[in-house]
């Protein structure tokens, strides 16, 4: 068994005939449900059936398509919409603070699956080969799926800003390899992510901070954001600049409660001047830390020994 992150999985029946995977933290609390595949993260391969490509390309082209998590990309062509309403300042993190927030919602049973690494590696992943990819997945060039695929590919091909590394993971194994490159081969790592304590279809509403935020003392972190694509793809990046990770218990006006993961970027001087967060907060880059919450289908990796 190869040396990997100290994570485990628990099968979870999302729909009849389908299985997804849940990863537990080291204190045994379920913290994330990964896209449905039967990959065992402790093995290089797994002789378990995976859905055929023709069964997994029914993805939501209107999924989490914004690039707000890529600080070097300009957003001047984006109208201000609710999906940008997840930014706040570090001074906002106090009990009783109420703010309008958007949380992207996904149905795990309908989400694209991870492919086995050898299968994912056999498929071209380049905007230059988009016409061939559209034929492979039987999408029309002017379809919403085609446009979403192109946006995702171009985001993956964008140059990282100074002091940042980025990588688009097309399999769970490649994501774990990227994490090892950031944390070191001998450093175990774990996941933290947003937990919804109840189900709701409401994506945008007022939320109130219910308890004092708890900081996770991590020297490094990797953030992985899901992208709309026929199979599971995550945009992962890590920055050398200081970032602070928090767990924050918040409650919505409709009674919903969640333990949300928030990240505060302490240095935004290298970000695009047109980044959506600056317009939402009315600030300029480099003048103030920018914080934002993560939806449940986005992943934060930290060293396993990081404490609260």
Residue 101's φ and ψ, nearest 5 degrees, are -135, 145
3-state SS, residue 226 = strand
Where is average pLDDT lowest: 22-36, 39-53, 88-102, 195-209? 39-53
Is 62's pLDDT higher than 50? yes
Mean pLDDT of 133-149: 96
How high is the pLDDT of residue 112? 87
Where do we find the tokens 């992510």? 193
Q: What is the pLDDT of residue 60?
A: 60
Cα torsion 84, 90, 94, 97: sign: negative
Q: How confident is the model at residue 225 (pLDDT cuts 50, 70, 90)?
A: very high
Token pair, residue 71, equals: 């600080």
Residue from 266, 284, 262, 265 nearest 275 by CA:
284
Q: Which of 279, 277, 253, 251 is nearest to 263 (CA)?
A: 277
Mean pLDDT of 70-74: 49
Q: pLDDT tens-digit profile of 7-33?
A: 333 333 333 333 334 444 333 333 334
| Contact (CB, 8 A) for 36 and 47 | no
pLDDT tens digits, one per residue of 148-179? 999 999 999 999 988 899 999 999 999 999 99
Residue 87 CA to residue 276 CA, distance in Å, equals: 9
Q: Where are the domains of the chain?
A: 60-303
For residue 151, the cross-strand partners are none
Burial degree of 106 (CB within 10 A; 0-12, 13-18, 19+): middle
pLDDT digits (tens, 9 = 90+) for 231-242: 999 999 999 888
């Amino acid at each position: 068994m190869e040396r990997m992150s100290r994570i485990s999985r628990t099968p979870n029946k999302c729909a009849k005939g389908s299985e997804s995977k849940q990863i537990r933290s080291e204190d045994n609390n379920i913290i994330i449900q990964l896209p449905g595949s039967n990959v065992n993260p402790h093995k290089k391969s797994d002789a378990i059936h995976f859905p055929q490509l023709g069964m997994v390309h029914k993805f939501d082209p209107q999924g989490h398509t914004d690039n707000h998590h890529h600080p070097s990309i300009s957003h001047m062509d984006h109208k201000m919409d609710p999906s940008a309403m997840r930014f706040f300042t570090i001074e906002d993190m106090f009990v009783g603070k109420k703010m309008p927030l958007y949380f992207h919602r996904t149905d795990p049973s309908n989400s694209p699956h991870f492919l086995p690494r050898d299968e994912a590696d056999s498929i071209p992943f380049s905007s230059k080969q988009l016409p061939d990819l559209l034929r492979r997945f039987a999408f029309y060039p002017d379809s919403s799926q085609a446009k979403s695929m192109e946006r995702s590919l171009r985001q993956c091909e964008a140059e990282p800003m100074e002091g940042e590394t980025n990588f688009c993971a097309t399999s769970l194994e490649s994501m774990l390899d990227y994490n090892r490159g950031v944390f070191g081969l001998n450093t175990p790592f774990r996941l933290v992510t947003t937990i919804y304590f109840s189900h709701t279809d409401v994506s945008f509403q007022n939320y109130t901070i219910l308890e004092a935020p708890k900081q996770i003392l991590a020297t490094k972190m990797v953030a992985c954001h899901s992208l709309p694509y026929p199979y599971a793809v995550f945009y992962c990046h890590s920055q050398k600049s200081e970032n602070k990770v928090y767990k924050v218990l918040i409650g919505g006006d409709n009674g919903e409660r969640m333990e949300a993961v928030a990240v505060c970027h302490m240095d935004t001087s290298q970000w695009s001047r047109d980044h959506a967060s600056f317009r939402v907060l009315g600030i300029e880059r480099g003048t103030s830390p920018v914080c934002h919450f993560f939806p449940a289908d986005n992943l934060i990796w930290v060293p396993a020994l990081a404490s609260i």
